[in-house]
Amino acid sequence: MTEAAELTLNQRSQQLLDQLREEQWEAAALSAVSYLAAAQQMMRAYQQATIPEEKQALALQLQAIEKNQAEIAVRLQAWTRQLEQNVVRLQQRNAGCQDYRAQMAHGLA
């Protein structure tokens, strides 16, 4: 993995984190795909590295993004909880509308 690829991973990590901080959910969802692919590629390179110096360099690069990864995980978990709450509210409203329609149908019949 080259230094340019490492910078790209760090940039992607920071970009995703910034988007999550700013609640740019659609952009974050798109950025997460490329970020995760780049991170997985670097992890595979680390696992396959046979030269100790290369393995050490890759380990340092992975450690460099750990702080962002931790905050990304926390923000994604919060986002997921918010989405789950929104889905529950929508389901409750939908059920309420269905009940109202059923009552109105009975009342009109």
Which pLDDT value is given to residue 6? 52
**What does the alpha-carbon distance between residue 16 and residue 32 come to, in Å, rounded to a whole number?**
6
Which pLDDT value is given to residue 105? 77
Question: Residue 14 in contact with residue 68, Cβ under 8 Å?
Answer: yes
pTM, 2 dp = 0.68
| Domain map (residue ranges) of the chain | 3-108
Report the chain (109 residues): mean pLDDT per 10 consecutive residues. Answer: 62 94 93 90 93 92 89 92 90 81 72
- Indicate the CATH number for domain 3-108: 1.20.58
Which pLDDT value is given to residue 5? 53
Contacts of 66 (CB under 8 A, 6+ apart): none
Closest by Cα among 32, 34, 5 to 19 = 32
DSSP tag of 51: S
Which pLDDT value is given to residue 93? 84
Q: CB atoms < 10 A from the CB of 28, how many?
A: 22
